[in-house]
Structure formats: C-alpha cells, structure tokens
Amino acid sequence: MSSEMISIAPVVYYYRGQSLTYERVLSLLTAENEDEIKNALKGTWLEGISVDLSKPEAVEREAYKKYLQVLDALRAHVNSMDMRLLIEVMKDYVRARDVMLLLRAKASNKPIEEVEEYLIFTEDPLISTLKTLLKERGFEALAQGLKGFRMARDIEYSLELFRSTNDEKAMVLALDVALLNALLRLTNRIGKKVNVGTSRIEFTKLLCPRIDTLSFVMAARLVIEGIEPKTQIPSCHPEVVSQILQSKRDDIVPILRRTPYGEGLPDDLYDALGKLLVNGKRIQRKRAEAVFAGYPFRPSTLVALMLLYRLDAEDISTIVSGKRLGIDISKISEMLSFELIKK
C-alpha cells in the first residue's frame, strides 16, 4: 500500500462508519415527523441537515451539499493528481444535478430564475456560465460557450440526445451515463498505475450497474418513441444496448430479464424500466459494501465510499419526497438502494 493510501485509509473507514444502514433506513421510513427523521440521522454523515417535509427538494439540496463537504474533506487527504481528479469527477456527478435543473427549465420554457434557489453550486464557474448562456442565447450557444469546461462534452452529448428525441428524461439519463463513463475511464487509468487488472475489475464492478441500467433505459425509451439514436449510447454491455435498439417494444422486457439486473422485472414496460434502475442501485450498494470487506485499502475503497454516500443522499431524498406525497412506506422502500424486503 502506498504512503498516500495509508494516510487516507483511516479517514475513509471513519466515514464508512457513518453511512446509512438497514436499521437507520427503517427508522427513516417509519418516522412520523421531522424530529423523528432528524433523530434517525444522528450518528450518520447526514446528521444536522435541515429537514422540512414540505420541501423535499430542499432536503435533497442539503444532502448533496453535505456530500460535497465530505468529498472536499477526502480531497484534502490525497496528493496525487489522479486521485484528486477522481474526487472532482464525483463532484461533477453532483454538479450534473444543477446542470439538469437549468437545462430542463430551458427545455420547458421556464424562466431560469425559477430554479436558481434549488442550485447547489451557486458560485460555480460552469453553472454561472451555463445560466448566462441559457438566459441570453439558449441551447445553441452551449457548444462554443462551454468550451474548456470538463463537463462540456457530456452536456453536449445529453443535449444531442434531447434534440433527437425531445425527451427530457432521456437527456437526464444521457448525462448520468456520460458522467459515470467519465469516472470509469478515470478509475481504469488509475487502476493501470496501481494494480494492473485487479483494480480495473473492481472499478468496473462498482460502476457498471448504474452505467448499464441507465443506458438500457435510455435505449428502451428511444424504441418506445420510435427514434433512431444519432449518438452512441455508452454502456459496459453495448451488445445489450444494440439488442434493445433493434428490438420491438414487446421484446424489451424479455431482453432486460436476461441481464444481470433483470431480477423481478414486471411485465409492464414502464414499471420494468423503473425496477431496472432500482436494481442497478441495489447491486451497486451491495458491491460497494463488499469492497470494505477486502484488504488492503486500495483506490476502489475510496470509490466505494463515495458511491455509498451518493446512494445515501438519493435514498434520503426519495424517502422525504415519498412522505411529502403521501406514498405508503412499502412503496417508498421499493425505490431505495436498500433491499428491505428479502426475497
């Protein structure tokens, strides 16, 4: 283990002890008011976030702001450019949330000002530039106006898919997949330097469940809309994407059931796509937790922690949103990365 890995290892294991657990999630689901939610979060990395059941989007924002604080703390303990860039790409994964808020507002012809209060990166150069371009010139200005930003190509990729489909959901999925793929490329590069083969395999196992399920859903939506993709859909299993794109609508669910993420998919296509995304999250959580059972500490352990915290943030947002909408807790639990009902 390198000296850098030795220095950051105790920090990562400390944070691992503060991630959400099965018991904590059960407490969150059964909480009847804001105080009970806050109590359930005590001792976790999310302790202290503002909880307002009437404003689930504000809770999501608070969770991601806390997540960014953790990423900054981790970054302070690493020296290599590769590891720092790895953490920065994970921050991009959160920054994508703000990008999508702005792009979707523009696509829906809403004033950009309506979503500004929900942004996390309020003084970020990319977000500030994006806001200005969208307000003054629109989508057409982004290709040139965002040159030089690390996320520029990913944003253009998602916009290209939106232009060809006019589907906002496809645009969101496209950016998620593009950013996950960027992270996969980066971690593969680190894996080559640190431990040829082993680290690359671990990184792939950690990231591919989300990359694949997002890309499969994106391909399925194109088939549903009867649209030929004008850009390639990145995936760890491109052959499955090709099968979906070449299939008929009624063939999609059987194809998905044959993938590693196809367990328990219902017959209804839209329900199956929703379940597929949940399966991807659950598999990623299980694999990230399994990394901590290994030894010694390695770069994939850091990635696993960052992914677990990202899933935690998504889960608390889902729980609060579900409670706000009056959804039964059994239905909320079906959307989480924790598999609370064992089959």
Q: According to DSSP H, which parts of 146-266 are helical? A: 152-165, 168-194, 198-225, 238-245, 252-257
Rounded Cα gap, residues 213 and 300, in angstroms: 21
Residue 320 included in any domain: yes
Range 283-296 average pLDDT: 89
pLDDT recorded at residue 197: 52
Q: Compute φ and ψ for 6, nearest 5 degrees.
A: -65, -40
Which CATH number does the domain housing residue 309 bear?
1.10.132.50
Reported as a single tens digit per residue, the pLDDT across 82-104 is: 888 888 888 998 899 999 999 98
pLDDT grade, residue 196 (50/70/90)? very low
Out of 121-135, 224-238, 270-284, pick the least confident.
Answer: 224-238
Question: What token pair was written down for 298?
Answer: 């390695």
Answer yes or no: is 316 within a domain. Answer: yes
- CB-neighbour burial class of residue 165 (10 A; exposed 0-12, middle 13-18, buried 19+): buried
pLDDT band with cut points at 50, 70 and 90 for residue 319? very high
- Which whole number is the average pLDDT over 284-311? 89
Examine residue 306 and state whether it is found in any structural domain, yes or no: yes
Helices and strands, counts by H and E, the chain: 15, 0
Domain annotation covers residue 318 = yes
Q: Distance between the two ends of the chain, CA-based, in angstroms?
A: 39
Of 270 and 193, the structure prediction assigns the larger pLDDT to: 270
On whether residue 57 sits in a domain, the answer given is yes
- What confidence score (pLDDT) does residue 1 get? 53
For tokens 């004033």, the residue is: 111
* Angstrom distance (rounded) from CA 216 to CA 259: 10
- Nearest alpha-carbon partner for 284 in 234, 237, 339: 339
Domain, as residue range, for 307:
1-79+297-336
Q: How far apart are CA 271 and CA 265, in angstroms?
A: 8
Instruction: State whether residue 245 is helix, strand or coil.
Output: helix
| Residue 247, helix vs strand vs coil | coil
pLDDT at 79 (0 to 100): 83
- The single-letter DSSP state of residue 118 is G
pLDDT band at 297 (very low <50, low <70, confident <90, very high): confident
For 102-131, write each residue's pLDDT tens digit: 998 998 888 999 888 889 998 899 999 999
CA distance 180 to 234: 10
Asked whether residue 152 is assigned to any structural domain, the reply reads no
Lowest mean pLDDT of 73-77, 169-173, 259-263, 317-321, name the range: 169-173
Whether residue 191 lies inside any domain: the answer is no
Q: Is residue 60 part of a domain?
A: yes
Q: For position 209, what pLDDT does the model report?
A: 94
User: What would the mean pLDDT of 181-206 be, rounded to a whole number?
Assistant: 72
**Unique residue bearing structure tokens 């839209």:** 270
| pLDDT recorded at residue 193 | 61
Which pLDDT belongs to residue 78?
86
Q: List CB contacts of 160: < 8 A, sequence separation 6 or more.
A: 230, 231
Neighbours of 136 (CB within 10 A): 9
State the average pLDDT for the chain: 89
Give the pLDDT mean for 191-201: 61
Cβ density class 309-337: b for 16+ within 10 Å, e for less: bbbbbbbbbbbbbbbeeebebeebbbbbb
* Stronger pLDDT, 47 or 169, i.e. the higher one: 47
CA distance 311 to 308: 5
Structurally, the chain folds into a number of domains equal to 1
Distance of CA 160 to the CA centre of its chain: 20
**CA gap 298, 302 in Å, rounded:** 7
